[in-house]
Structure 1
Amino acid sequence: MGRILFLIGIGLGGAAVLIALGVWQVQRLGWKQAVLADITARISAEPVALPDDPDPVADKYLPVAVTGTYAPEAIYVLVSQKQIGAGYRVISPLVTDAGRRVLVDRGFVRVDDRDAVTTPAEPVRITGNLHWPDEIDSYTPEPDLGANIWFARDLPAMAQSLNTEPLLIVARETSQSGGPVTPLPVDTAGIPNDHLQYAITWFSLALIWVAMTAVFALRGSRRRPERPNS
């Protein structure tokens, strides 16, 4: 009997821990959904003029509208699009009407269409969002400068390469076409939100733990006592 009670205690204790972890993930899910809703609202808000001194934290995702002229240089950042395949983000310098030189993520172009990318000579009006991408880690390869292929949006390095402010506008709409380039606006798709899957995992483990405890306890209660030697 003592062994069975011990198994039940272990089972209930383990299940309680697993259930608590599942509840915590449900709470985290609610928090993350609120964060994503706030980011979505900020992204789609009414655009404003380009700030003089934007803050990477306070002004991240800030919608802006700016008019200027593209410089002819460009950086091509290798990316992949679902159901489309490999391509590049086209990053170009924009000289604004106020004389500032900033970076614009013009959008996506297929690998095979890179040579068809054009730079509009006329002034262009861009509506987009300020962004400070966090895409660099220890595994990110160095850019292939000879082929002009970058493997992440390294904002300081891109700004240095194209002689601009370290400020990136990700275009949502533009008044001029740049050939086959399609805007790839900022959204929340790249922000991980796996809390529901984690919660389901913890609750499932709790159910399995309780079931296994019940099986072992049932087997222990049915075990026949050994007969004493005669």
Structure 2
Amino acid sequence: MKQNWPFLLLSVLVLILLVSLGNWQVLRKAEKAAYIAAIDARVAAAPVALPTAPDATADQFLSVRVSGTFTGPEVRVLVSTRDYGAGYRIIQAFEANGRRLLIDRGYVLSSAKDTPRPAGAASIEGNLHWPNERDKYTPENDVAGNTWYARDVPTLAQALGTEEVLLVAREEAPKPAQILPLPLDTSTIPNRHLEYIITWYGLAAVWVLMTAYFLKRRHAKAKL
């Protein structure tokens, strides 16, 4: 029996490690669920007036209502949706109470990218957003061809002459034809911690079975 102690000690240490990793994932799952719930609540909150000086951290996802007028050219950002495939987000400058901000009006099919969009007065409800969509693999924007690959708010604001504020429309009145709103939600935020929980606890269970099998085999051989 004494010769089994090193193996038993190793087995216990490995089991503690696997269970600890499973427990950690349980905590991470709860934290991620709380984070997603907080965003959902903020996105769905009753809209307020546009802050005087919106802050990218404090006002992220803030629900806002503005009334004003679309003005100037639009920017088309290439996007792909699960239900409709490839198309473009339409982003346009919007004048409201002497201020100019960016409005993400929503999605249009690739075939409708050159279709004139309704301009003029409108009322917009949506959420403030400062997305982080650019990384080292993102192509450079084709400004001349009006095909952009990321909603980089400072760059968009410079191109359209607005504040560095993007409002992602949830509702637009009057409702524009051929534009499908792509409001903010949490569907793209991954929460795969349940998979990790099953993985670590599953490995712990397998380790226990393997340890028991190994000890049983050694015990049987010792009797021979």
TM-score range, shorter chain: over 0.9
In 2: Cα distance, 1:117 partner to 1:30 partner = 46
In 2: Cα distance, 1:131 partner to 1:31 partner = 22
Percent pairwise identity: 45
In 2: Cα distance, 1:225 partner to 1:147 partner = 81
- Can you list the C-alpha shifts for 1:92-150, whole angstroms capped at 9, x where unaligned? 11111x11110000011121221225132x30000011111111212111111232111
Paired residue secondary structure (2:145) = coil
Does the Cα contact within 8 Å between 1:155 and 1:166 map onto a contact in 2? yes
User: Offset of 1:187 from its aligned partner?
Assistant: 0.8
User: In the alignment, which residue of structure 2 is the partner of 1:187?
Assistant: 185
Structure 1, 61-70 or 138-147: larger mean CA deviation: 138-147
Paired residue secondary structure (2:189) = coil
Paired residue secondary structure (1:148) = coil
Structure 1, 87-96 or 1-10: larger mean CA deviation: 1-10
Does the Cα contact within 8 Å between 1:93 and 1:101 map onto a contact in 2? yes
User: In the alignment, which residue of structure 2 is the partner of 1:177?
Assistant: 175
In 2: Cα distance, 1:182 partner to 1:199 partner = 38
User: In the alignment, which residue of structure 2 is the partner of 1:69?
Assistant: 69
User: Offset of 1:45 from its aligned partner?
Assistant: 0.9
For 1:127, which of 105, 125, 134 is the aligned residue? 125
Paired residue secondary structure (1:21) = helix
In 2: Cα distance, 1:224 partner to 1:31 partner = 50
- Can you list the C-alpha shifts for 1:35-61, whole angstroms capped at 9, x where unaligned? 211111111111111111011111111
In 2: Cα distance, 1:225 partner to 1:215 partner = 16
Structure 1, 126-135 or 68-77: larger mean CA deviation: 68-77
Q: What amino acid does structure 1 have at the position aligned with 2:168?
A: V
- Can you list the C-alpha shifts for 1:157-190, whole angstroms capped at 9, x where unaligned? 1111111111000000010233311111111112
Show structure 1 runs of 5+ residues with no match.
none
User: In the alignment, which residue of structure 2 is the partner of 1:58?
Assistant: 58
What is the 5 A alignment of 1:60-139?
Answer: 60-96=60-96, 98-120=97-119, 122-139=120-137
Does the Cα contact within 8 Å between 1:70 and 1:123 map onto a contact in 2? yes
Distance 1:182 1:9, change over 3 A: same
User: Offset of 1:88 from its aligned partner?
Assistant: 1.2
Runs of 4+ in 1 over 4 A off after TM superposition: none
Q: What amino acid does structure 2 have at the position aligned with 1:115?
A: D
Paired residue secondary structure (1:223) = helix
In 2: Cα distance, 1:99 partner to 1:205 partner = 61
User: Offset of 1:225 from its aligned partner?
Assistant: 8.2
Q: What amino acid does structure 1 have at the position aligned with 2:189?
A: I
User: Offset of 1:8 from its aligned partner?
Assistant: 2.2
Q: TM-score, normalised by structure 2?
A: 0.94
In 1: Cα distance, 2:159 partner to 2:192 partner = 36
In 2: Cα distance, 1:3 partner to 1:113 partner = 76
In 2: Cα distance, 1:211 partner to 1:151 partner = 51
Does the Cα contact within 8 Å between 1:117 and 1:181 map onto a contact in 2? no
Paired residue secondary structure (1:118) = coil
User: In the alignment, which residue of structure 2 is the partner of 1:45?
Assistant: 45
Q: TM-score, normalised by structure 1?
A: 0.91
Does the Cα contact within 8 Å between 1:75 and 1:148 map onto a contact in 2? yes
User: Offset of 1:68 from its aligned partner?
Assistant: 1.0
For 1:168, which of 166, 169, 175 is the aligned residue? 166
The alignment yields a C-alpha RMSD, in angstroms, of: 1.7
